[in-house]
Homo-oligomer: A and B are copies of this chain.
Amino acid sequence: MIRCSKCQYINPTKCSPIKQICFVHSKCNRKKPKSKIISVPEVNKFIVECLRKLNVKDDKACILAKSLVKADYQGILSHGLNRLEHYIIDIKNKNCNPNADPKIISESASAAAVCGNNGLGAVIGVFCINIAIEKACKTGIAMVVAIGSNHFGVNSFYTEHAVSQGCIGMAFTNTSPLMVPTGAKKACFGTNPMSIAAPAGRCDRVVIDFATTSVSLGKIEMYRRRNQKIPIGWALDKHGKPTTDPAVAVKARRLSPLGGTASHKGTGLAIMVEILSGLLANSTYGPNVRVWGQKPFKPANLGHGFIVINPRRFISGFEKRLGDLLEHVRKLEPADPKRPMLVPGDMERARMKKVDEQGGIEYTNSHLKMIQRLVQDLGVKPPKFKS
């Protein structure tokens, strides 16, 4: 459990076990980048307007916008507006058919397979999770898999939707090869993220959502920009050897599985995600998935899997029990008194509260430049800034 020496935040940026310091604190000494606040409805409107210019139908554009804005609202800026240009490139290059409707291709009482017809990942994901919720409400548990899909954003977008219906949601997706299985030299799996979220009564919930690599490539890129070493156990060099040089790691694109000294468990989790998404769905899988944005452009044909459990079909009182457990964890004595305990999802809720308080999402200079590019390229109106 390596934590920031200043605030006990996990994932410190320096790998020294003595003088480790986290992302937040390492930023304290840095010049704050230029940023502007945009209200949530304004960001949403801007994304929809961009997509309209590409002839994306409103129902589809609204779903994609909602998924991207929610990520930003929760502070997951790597998966929000930041990704809009990638989606637009896919649409422009006809790698994705944004107006395609997903279709059920096989179905039973608690299972369905959906063909996404190379549509927008978020549209396909919402279609699938809704079927899974409907079936689980009848039978207790249901699973829906999707073939022919594209990047679907943040997994918790779907699992939280299941929670809003009183269910436990699980979401899995394969992604482009980046993870080197334990003992190998080359990447064979994606970061293969997974999420589970569950309702805990009285508006409480737990939302677990993570990649099955130790860290994302984006995080290593941040280290490179700051010229800081990365810890052993995050990535390999082009020869498949562990590296502490973020520049080498970014170039090699070979991430290590979650687990540190027990990375075989992270490898196992990546295989599990592949089973529950690409392999069951018959999409591309493992090393066959294309790298996003790399030539030659071709459809992603990603696979997703969604499992929904209806706790009311088991023993009553599930939400109360989970709420009790979450409260117990929050009340545990923290290792650092200044860092009260949180459960997964609390941090995102705190960020949403902050967005509400400040009247919008704070976007940095790189976002603002991207907005400017889109305004020029697509001829859309820029969003109104709050500051």
Q: What is the interface of chain A, defined by CB distance below 8 A to chain B?
A: 1-3, 8, 10-12, 17, 105-106, 108-113, 138-143, 145, 147, 168, 180-186, 188, 196, 198, 206, 208, 210, 214-215, 231-234, 236, 240-242, 256-265, 267-269, 271-272, 274-276, 279-282, 285-287, 307, 309-311, 313-315, 317-318, 321-322, 325, 328-329, 332-336, 339, 341-344
Contacts and interface: CB of A to CB of B under 8 A. Distances in A.
Given A279-B321, A335-B183, A328 B2 contact: no
Contacts of A110: 109-110, 139-142
A186 B182 CA distance: 31
Contacts of A113: 314-315
A141 B138 contact: no
Given A8-B183, A109-B109, A232-B2, A210 B268 contact: yes
Contact of A145 (B112, B180, B314): B314
A191 to B, nearest CB: 12
A181 B285 contact: no
**Can you tell how many copies of this chain the complex includes?**
2
25 contacts: A1-B182, A2-B260, A10-B263, A11-B261, A17-B232, A108-B138, A109-B109, A109-B138, A111-B310, A139-B139, A140-B143, A206-B275, A210-B262, A215-B262, A240-B333, A240-B335, A258-B265, A259-B259, A260-B261, A279-B321, A280-B311, A281-B314, A282-B321, A285-B325, A287-B328
